[in-house]
Structure 1
Amino acid sequence: MSPPTDDHTDSRSTTDLSRRAFSRKAVAAGGSGALAACLENSDRTSVNAPEGVSDPESLPDRQHAWNDVLKTDDAGNVVPPAHHVFLSLSLSSGSDPVAGARGTVRAALRAVERALEWSGDGLVFTLGYTPAYFDRFEAELDAAVDLPNPDPITVLAAASDVTVDTNDALLHLASDDPAVVLAAEETLFGEREQLNGHSPSASLGGVFERRGRRTGFVGPGLPAERQHGLDGIPESEPVPEEAPFFMGFRAGFRESQATEDRVTIRDGPFAGGSTQHFETLELDLEVWFEESDHEQRVARLFSPDHAERNAVGEYGERLGRDPGVAATVDDAHDDARERGVVGHAQKVARAREDGDPVLLRRDVNTTDGDTCGLHFVCLQRDMSEFVRAREAMVGDDFRQYGLGPRGSNGILQYLRLRRWGSYLVPPRSRRALPRPDPGA
């Protein structure tokens, strides 16, 4: 394949920016050609990532234990990896999750862990399983796991064409190095004989088939450099240079995120695991940026009080590690009735438990299909906690003030739900084709 190109040039264009834009297109394209082009563009001939560990057993049992090995910003917020690949997987015809395939999956995953450091500079990843995967067994999923079949029948989905994930699994790969993500994907599926000097003994290729591949990125400056020519964004290219997300503001504040402990399953054979929700949203940024000014956008994303106090700044730089939305919860109905607007974060904060967040979000931007979008990724102990937060976000109780989903009810009118899935992310010790009742 030909190396991905980026023909967008302006006053911001530098060698570094061009390489970053090139890297994101390479990750989106995938394949050996994209990896070779990515390495060439970075003046490298091999992946050359930090080496992993000789014994994967030394890694935490929680697959979702990422925060301690990721960087933090000056305010103490966790900085997510820049490059992400999400692979929807189905068991290959004839694969038996109870037979030898389990050992193959275990060996393939451990080979990558031996080759690459568990970090943002190396690789972090999770493998989660859908309700459809567990439905193939006669036994019921252990009662300690809350993983209902997904139901995207919400106001958010009313005007959307939603595809529910009925494949078997979702593999999420993430790294600050685009070459690492590409090389890890190839290695896991038997398309690469060596990874960082290590030779894997097994691959997922004979067990799983890739049914879908989605990609994402996150970080200051990245959305701004990728906004050119996308569907759903104005020609004026309004995303601020320092914004890590397409809507123009920061997210992932430490005080608005659940801890990894809080989202971890406590009991049963899957203790140490978590549940994951993953959905893809298209963003209507043309309306977001052109039909509202900065103050109105702040009011709809955070709260009217944030806008009135100018508490956010251009892209959220004034908020530090705490966006301060908890203090606005009690004013939500007054804001809706008297000001005609209620904030997205203000609504969602109503789903906290004793003031503490229950969701750990790991969202990323996406330009899959040349459309401006968001892969919404969140972890929670029970899926019922996600449902509660989603109901708070939809905000049906604000309809009495004339704030339906197409009004100033947070950011609902700028979102189109396209894909939706729920997953059990088992502890590392049970991530290889788990039975629903592994203790039986």
Structure 2
Amino acid sequence: MDFERFRAVSRRDFVTSAVAIGGTSALAACQDRERAATETGADGDGGEDDDALDLPRPEDPSDRPNGLHRWNDYLVRNAHGNTVLPRHQVVLGLSYEGSVPPTDEEREQVEAALRTLDRAYQWGTSGNQGASLSNGLLWMLGYSQRYFDRLDADPDPLLSPEEVLDAVGEDASLADPFDAVLVLNADYGSVAMAPEHALWGETDQLNGVEVEATLEGVFSRETRRTGITGKGVVARELDNEDVPEEAPLSMGYRSGFADNQAPEDRATIDDGPFAGGSTLAVSRLHIDLDRWYDQDTEERAAEMFCPAHDLDEVGETAEQLGTSSRITPEDAESVEEHAEEYGRIGHSQKVARARDDDFVPKIIRRSEGVATDVAEGAGFNFTSIQADVQDFVEVRKAMHTEEYDVDLDADDHGIVDYLETKARTALIVPPRERVALPEP
């Protein structure tokens, strides 16, 4: 790929393209452009120097949570106090190539490879509560039932991807055939990309830190997916002029309100061999944005949140809602009444029915990024963490039209009719101390 012809485009668009394309040339070009922007405070054309960004390295690499899913204290927060996910995401579907069972040498190799990430980058914002941009990396490595089948193990609380798909009424052929998935999130595109190169021996340094070991011979890369989120970014990525310029997600509204995310303790496995870890659901979806935006603003807001919401209280991109989606137990219990009164029901009020007895959500959305690796259409990466994969199943089932005794067309039934599942899998994310080739 000749990146010179992209010199005239904005830095954001350039970096997004580089992350999606991948490869050594793309990484070098991305680092060049991002470094120029940090030096000039503008997009710049990057000059000729290909040196990487010089980002802060952790003083104590061990000073980070044992739970790889514990990101909340290390994320940027917006003016309302809601967590803001990093802009760039790389999702790598992996195949296990090591010994069965894994040897001590292989486990030490993986530990050393992952330790390089922790030595090279701070954990997200490093706990800086006032940060407007993350200088670090957040990552998770999860293992699927396919990996554990090799070890003749069936760990709780995991389900196979086929079991997940069957439980939510979808085709089992959509199961992702991965043994493991590595998720890399960062505000800098080069930081989301560079670990992949280090982990597979394509560079000998990572942010100025010598690469201690790689994953070569243990894991191979089967699939690479990329995504992006953020105001002013999504609208430029999608070929749809109806997406609001300030929308952080493709359907127009921001998500991740404090009241519709589970507390991290609620998403943490309490006991057993993976206590302190979590489970991860990874999905690739397609969104029919043309049909979604054929509706007017009031219809879309009603179907995303709740038809009883006042449109003025939502705002064009839900910016008026502050820290709360304003979904109440009464909204969740009033689906049938709202269907009759308003002729539609909302996605948020439906999934709120899957909360626990104290009306606390069970899952945390860790990505709702627009896919940047698809040639056409509106692809979508959705990842969530939860203590038990069954929690994800219950939330997804709450979206189904057949769960409700209402006489509504499917396209008035929240957002489910606008989504098409392309692939799913489920994984256990062990705590950091056990993340290297775990055996239950």
* TM-score of the alignment, normalized to the shorter chain, above 0.5: yes
CA RMSD of aligned residues (A): 2.0
Q: Name the residue aligned to 1:394.
A: 400
Alignment of 1:270-419 (within 5 A): 270-290=274-294, 292-306=295-309, 308-326=310-328, 327-353=330-356, 354-362=358-366, 363-370=368-375, 371-398=377-404, 400-403=405-408, 406-419=410-423
Tell me if structure 2 keeps the 8 A contact 1:162–1:418: no
Q: Name the residue aligned to 1:60.
A: 65
Q: Name the residue aligned to 2:254.
A: 250
- One-letter identity of the residue aligned with 2:284: T
Residue from 165, 168, 177 that aligns with 1:152: 165
Aligned residue-pair number:
412
Structure 1: where are the runs of 5+ without partners? 8-14
Residue from 106, 110, 115 that aligns with 2:111: 106
Residues 40 and 47 of structure 1: CA distance in aligned 2, closer, same or farther (over 3 Å): closer
Q: Does 1:206 align with 2:206?
A: no
Q: CA deviation at 1:225?
A: 1.1
SS at match of 1:35: helix
- One-letter identity of the residue aligned with 1:428: R
Q: Does 1:131 align with 2:134?
A: no
**Counterpart Cα distance in 1 of 2:224 and 2:77:** 28
**Counterpart Cα distance in 1 of 2:261 and 2:157:** 20
**Counterpart Cα distance in 2 of 1:156 and 1:215:** 27
1:150-195 CA-to-partner distances (Å, cap 9, x unmatched) read: 331367747xx95212321000001000011111110111101111
- One-letter identity of the residue aligned with 1:397: E
Q: CA deviation at 1:331?
A: 1.7
**Counterpart Cα distance in 1 of 2:136 and 2:197:** 15
Tell me if structure 2 keeps the 8 A contact 1:243–1:249: yes
- One-letter identity of the residue aligned with 2:323: R
Residues 157 and 390 of structure 1: CA distance in aligned 2, closer, same or farther (over 3 Å): same
**Counterpart Cα distance in 1 of 2:223 and 2:263:** 30
Q: CA deviation at 1:309?
A: 4.7
Q: Name the residue aligned to 1:221.
A: 232
**Counterpart Cα distance in 1 of 2:353 and 2:396:** 10
Alignment of 1:174-185 (within 5 A): 174-185=185-196
Structure 2: where are the runs of 5+ without partners? 37-45, 125-133
Q: CA deviation at 1:92?
A: 2.0
Alignment of 1:177-196 (within 5 A): 177-196=188-207
Q: Name the residue aligned to 2:174.
A: 163
Q: Name the residue aligned to 2:265.
A: 261
Residues 137 and 329 of structure 1: CA distance in aligned 2, closer, same or farther (over 3 Å): same
Tell me if structure 2 keeps the 8 A contact 1:47–1:180: no
Q: Name the residue aligned to 2:81.
A: 76
- One-letter identity of the residue aligned with 1:298: A
**Counterpart Cα distance in 1 of 2:422 and 2:379:** 10
Residue from 240, 247, 250 that aligns with 2:244: 240
Tell me if structure 1 keeps the 8 A contact 2:168–2:393: no
Tell me if structure 1 keeps the 8 A contact 2:98–2:106: no
Percent of residue pairs identical: 41
Residues 310 and 420 of structure 1: CA distance in aligned 2, closer, same or farther (over 3 Å): same
Residues 350 and 93 of structure 1: CA distance in aligned 2, closer, same or farther (over 3 Å): same
Q: Name the residue aligned to 1:10.
A: none
Tell me if structure 1 keeps the 8 A contact 2:28–2:52: no
Residue from 75, 91, 99 that aligns with 2:96: 91
- Superposition TM-score, scaled by structure 1 size: 0.89
Tell me if structure 1 keeps the 8 A contact 2:168–2:396: no
1:255-312 CA-to-partner distances (Å, cap 9, x unmatched) read: 110111110111122111001111011010011112x100000111111112x45321
Q: CA deviation at 1:411?
A: 0.8
- Superposition TM-score, scaled by structure 2 size: 0.89
